[in-house]
A and B are shown apart, each in its own frame.
Chain A
Amino acid sequence: MSAMGTWLRAEVTTSPAHARVQRAFYGWLRLRANPLAFGGFLILVGLVLVAALAPVIAPVGYNEQSLALRLRSPSAEHWFGTDELGRDLFARIVWGARITIYISTLVAVIAAPIGLAVGTTAGYFGGWTDTVLMRINDMFLSFPGLILALGFVAALGPGIGNAVIAIALTAWPPIARLARAETLTIRASDYIAAVRIQGAGPLRIILRHIVPMCVPSVVVRITLNMAGIILTAAGLGFLGLGAQPPTPEWGAMLSTGRQNMLGAWWIAAVPGIAILITSLAFNLFGDGLRDVLDPRSE
């Protein structure tokens, strides 16, 4: 065993940093040990690579039209075939990976902090604050996700940016509920009482002591929700309100392919499978992540 290995596996950690690294290392080992979760992880890494290297990987641009080449089935020349305007589907899928990553990252970045803030505040203070925040939360939660997103996109105007905001609006309430539930458990614990006695204010307690405790389950939750987010984005594209043409957003591509579903199956099948694989990867990864991060499921 190398020195590094010994340090990582040390029985007694020497510093908080050492402890954190070691925890991450053991988490990594557990992830490795779970083939499905690790597979999901690898797919996601692959997706990021594809998105980053799109100009290199894609044989042509995503909007190179040719009416003469339309609806070609998959071949050596066009790996995934061509669409109704004769565009190379492989190129569009590759470029589209960027859109998918863009949407999912942005939604996560918007929804997670909102959900955390609302949930921990409600959970920590309880009483009126809790009631008001949770009623608002209920309002959003009881709104059908796709309809809320549809309504907002219709009101704000279609486009990726607005789609992201709309989806984020539907994505934070479950996170808030989760964070609140976690907070309720943590709030009663002894070490919070200890910190409070030491004179820490609510803001400090929430930010320094409660939020970090909630983060693992929130990360798991949002990873698992990512599939739903991607499918909602696809649903918006499907209804014509997501990304605007000729943007190669997978959901929009799927929607176009619907018209040729029976004849040129690949137009819908290729983005359909891309969406499926990506959301499956998120789900597998999230599921594994839960085993790693969530101590209760051990």
Chain B
Amino acid sequence: MRGIVAAAVGTMALMGGAVQAATPRDALVMAWNLDALITFDPAQIAEVNGNDIIRNVCEPMVNYDLKDTSKIVPGTVAKWAVSEDGLTLTMTLRDDLKFPSGKKATAQDAEWSLHRAVMLGFGNAANITEWGFNKDNIATTIKATDEHTLAFKLDRPYPVGLLLSAMFASGSTGILDREEGTKNAKVTEGKSDYGNAFFKTAPVCVGPYRVTRWNTNDVVILERNDNYYGEKAKLRRVIIRHVPESGAQRLLLEQGDIDVARLLGTDDLKALAANVAATVAIEQTVMHGYSYLAFNGLDPILGNPKVREAFRYLIDYDGLAKTILEYQGAPRASLVPRGAFGALDAADGQPFKLDLERAKALLTEAGFPNGFAKKFILSANSFSPAVAQHVQSNAAKIGVTLQLEQMADAQLFTRARSREFEVLLIGWGAGYPDAHSMISRHAVNPDNRVEAKLAQYPSWRSSWIDAKVNEMADAAKMERDPAKRITAYHEIQRYMMKSGPMAYIVQTIRPIALRKEVKDFAITPFDVAYRTATK
């Protein structure tokens, strides 16, 4: 070790003193874990990094208000109107939309972008297909009637607020350059990829930034789009570096080598708050997502609602939120997240607490006074092992033996999707701030048969189906009176807390630590606006 220190000292002397730290004045530098990022094609993006970045590159048709996510404000679409019968939606695009090249963007481009999302059929297409559009009817149901107008034919009269929030504010509605996409399309086995491979690294979009470099698992660089119609981004570049270790991110942030750290662990955040509060701020955003336990209903023991209820009393919600999950989650047991339309309030949405006696009593009622043994699978990453061991140790106190098995995320998802689990600790993020987002996947289960393979429904994964909930959810979705919709959603949430297949532990918090010289970096659950930031 001595030799190395000496060598290091020597080399530093050669280099002429200390290494200078500071990020470039006209760039926002962000550290993140970019492992999951595989594409920038808005029709395919299915993970957190891509979703976050793409909203600054491909502007959706409408936006969530950066100050109040429950409000919808115009994006590339200037105004919209619904017909009397509620079956035709007309959207008028702005007439000053331009691609980064300066070329005009039209309703034909928008039409093509929506069509291709449906035709490509990635998971993301569900944002559109859930509302009655599909590969067969899309040519007639979504049409550009002139250069600025898009007409949508709906199959049912959906509440327009829900439609705007769920479909039109989603990242899949960015306007891509049709000409570029068609020119660069790859055709295999007679099928076009609609420029999927081409847009993967360089989406040509209407938006405040454009992607100029992406080295996988290394760096993403965005440059300002000077032909953007709206207010131009303040900082010329955004540099996102792949830094997979929380500790390393923290050091970089403290040293001023980055402006924003996106993936910090609880204890690093606590230390930042304690030591460098003068230079670093921590913004916590309550997300529309959960960490939860799922139980497999096919298991004779876990299929019993009383057993599942008992598990809800094995979690020290507040204890976890104050320790392991500080900065990471807020206790919440109802499946509709706080902040979403139709959510129960904080108290009603979290009626459980750690209560071993109650749990024991419920198990006895269910017919398992002596407990049982189950396998419990979880991710090896982040806080999952600590949370799982916490649950395990409480379960042991009432005679329930949980055998933990941790694994890579990709493997965990595979196991969950194929129903190969008994107890499972996993996460989920809702796509838009409306109760329907969670309820349509976690409570509704259209078809519980194995061969239906509805793996996108956590309810199906848990083999849980309830005809009454399916009906209630459909009625609520179509209810056009907002007050009645809220009441209907409250009812579903109460029902699910009693008999649902999950035990929700916390509603996710997304902590973002940033240096105080960065101003106006607007953060909402569904949109992190690099475009407004200054420094």
Question: Do A and B come into direct contact in the complex, CB within 8 Å?
Answer: yes
Least Cβ–Cβ distance between A76 and chain B, in angstroms = 23
Interchain CA distance A63-B386 in the complex, whole Å: 12
Query: A160 to chain B: closest CB distance in Å?
Result: 12
Q: How many Å lie between the Cα of A249 and that of B247 in the bound state?
A: 22
- From A4-12, A163-171, A203-211, A237-245, the one touching the partner chain is A237-245
Interface presence of B393 (CB below 8 A)? yes
User: Is A245 a contact partner of B389 (Cβ separation < 8 A)?
Assistant: yes
Judge whether A34 is part of the interface by a CB distance below 8 angstroms: no
What are the residues of chain A within 8 A of B268 when measuring CB–CB? Answer: 259, 262-263
Taking CB atoms, residues of chain B closer than 8 Å to A36 are: none
A84, A159, A264, most chain B CB atoms within 10 A: A84
A245 with B388: CB separation less than 8 A:
yes
B249–chain A nearest beta-carbon distance, Å:
11
Q: How far is the CA of A254 from the CA of B446 in the complex (A)?
A: 45
Check if A259 sits within 8 Å of B267, measured CB to CB: yes
The chain B residue sitting closest to A264, CB to CB, is B267
Question: B250 at interface (Cβ–Cβ under 8 A)?
Answer: yes
Interface residues on B, range: 20 to 34
Question: Assuming the A-B contacts A84-B386, A240-B406, are A67 and B320 also in contact, with contact meaning beta carbons closer than 8 angstroms in the complex?
Answer: yes
B145 interface hit (Cβ, 8 Å) = no
Counting chain B CB atoms within 10 Å of each CB, which of A157, A241, A263 scores highest? Answer: A263
A261 to chain B, nearest CB (A): 5
Closest residue of chain B to A252 (Cβ to Cβ) is B385
Cα(A8)–Cα(B266), bound, Å: 63
For this complex, 18 residue pairs linking A to B, each with C-beta atoms less than 8 Å apart, are A65-B389, A67-B322, A85-B386, A154-B411, A158-B406, A240-B408, A244-B403, A245-B392, A246-B393, A259-B246, A259-B267, A259-B268, A261-B247, A262-B251, A262-B268, A262-B271, A263-B271, A264-B267
Apart from A84-B267, A246-B393, A260-B267, list 8 A-B contacts with CB within 8 A: A63-B393, A67-B323, A85-B389, A159-B405, A241-B407, A245-B404, A259-B268, A262-B250
Assess whether B380 is in contact with A240, with CB atoms less than 8 Å apart. Answer: yes
- Chain A 127-143 residues near chain B, CB threshold 8 A: none
Contact B316 A67 (CB under 8 A): yes
Indicate if A220 sits at the interface (CB-CB under 8 A): no
A258 touches B389 (CB 8 A): no
Task: Answer whether A239 and B386 are a contact pair too, CB < 8 Å, given A244-B406, A264-B267.
Answer: no
B residues whose Cβ falls under 8 Å from a Cβ of A: 245-247, 250-251, 265-268, 270-271, 316, 319-320, 322-324, 380-381, 385-386, 388-390, 392-393, 403-408, 411
Chain A: minimal CB distance from B345 (Å)? 27
A73 interface hit (Cβ, 8 Å): no
Cα distance, A67 to B318, chains bound together (Å): 11
A245 to B391, CA, bound (A): 12
Q: Flag A38-66 by CB within 8 Å of B: 1 or 0 each.
A: 00000000000000000000000001010
A67 and B319 form a contact (CB under 8 A)? yes
Shortest CB distance B299–A (Å): 19
Chain A residues whose C-beta falls within 8 Å of the C-beta of B250 in the assembled complex: 262
User: B residues within 8 A CB of A258?
Assistant: 245, 247
Residues A262 and B405 in contact in the complex (CB < 8 Å), given A65-B390, A71-B267, A85-B389: no
Q: Mark interface residues in A219-259 (1 if CB within 8 Å of B CB, else 0).
A: 00000000000000000000111001110000000001011
Q: How far is the CB of B326 from chain A (nearest CB, A)?
A: 11
* A70 at interface by CB-CB < 8 Å: yes
B405 contacts A240, CB within 8 Å? no
Residues of A183-209 at the interface with B, using a CB-CB cut-off of 8 Å, are none
In the bound complex, do residue A262 and residue B389 qualify as a contact, i.e. CB atoms below 8 Å apart?
Answer: no
Closest residue of chain A to B411 (Cβ to Cβ) is: A154
- Using known A-B contacts A261-B247, A263-B268, A263-B271, determine if residue A241 contacts B380 with beta carbons closer than 8 Å: yes
- Kindly identify which residue among B320, B392, B405 contacts A158, using a CB–CB cutoff of 8 Å: B405
Indicate if the CB atoms of B390 and A262 lie closer than 8 Å: no
Q: Tell me the complex Cα distance, A280–B268, Å.
A: 31
- Within the assembled complex, what's the spacing in Å between the Cα atoms of A256 and B389? 12
Q: Is the CB of A263 within 8 A of B270?
A: yes
